[in-house]
Structure 1
């Protein structure tokens, strides 16, 4: 596993977001254990406290649960919870910016649909 950290955000937040994305993508499933703090620290050459901080944020968000003596596990319903939250962010924050850009560029619905169809054919 390789990951490139950016300098714009603390690593513990980037790691938390990486795990959130893995849950959303189904790479980590409900009930599945997260790698240990030590393992992640070794794999990514991070301070274990950085990893612990990320894991604690995931617990605080209700996405992960601690099982004493067993480790951290993805909570039941975590993917649905994340999906709902991400949809709200998209509709409230991202989509209005996209609409504004569409208006500024004077794009019409037909042009946008054709663009989507073209992108779909590329994949």
Structure 2
């Protein structure tokens, strides 16, 4: 069962969870996403919340809604997502992490890279 935080709206948290699944190739590109009802039942949330999360992924160019068939993972979605996440890591998260490591007096010799 998914544990939800109160820091972000539920639909954003679900979208993030679904993004992680897409990064892992679940479901594969070109394949259907689980239905809104299935996701709502699986995560114990309102179907409107699920629909909003899927619309968010659609707006990011990762999903497409096929009338009468449901939501499908777009071709190239995983690569697009990897590129977005890599850019965020290198441009935002890494500089912040480097600053924090420097404040703590930690250098490359202190880090285990496996």
- Figure out how many residues of one structure are paired with residues of the other and give that number: 114
Q: TM-score, normalised by structure 2?
A: 0.92
Q: Which aligned segments of 4 or more residues in structure 1 are displaced greater than 6 angstroms? A: none
Q: TM-score, normalised by structure 1?
A: 0.85
Give 1:37's aligned residue: 36
Give 1:59's aligned residue: 58
Higher helix residue share: 1
Q: 1:110 to 1:76 in 2, by over 3 A?
A: same
Structure 2, gaps ≥5 residues long:
none
Structure-to-structure mapping, 1:93-108, within 5 angstroms: 93-108=92-107
Give 2:47's aligned residue: 48
Larger gyration radius, structure 1 or structure 2 = 1
User: 1:101, 1:26 → 2: CA distance?
Assistant: 32
Structure 1, gaps ≥5 residues long:
none
RMSD (Å), alpha carbons: 1.3
Q: Residue 73 of structure 1: CA displacement?
A: 0.5
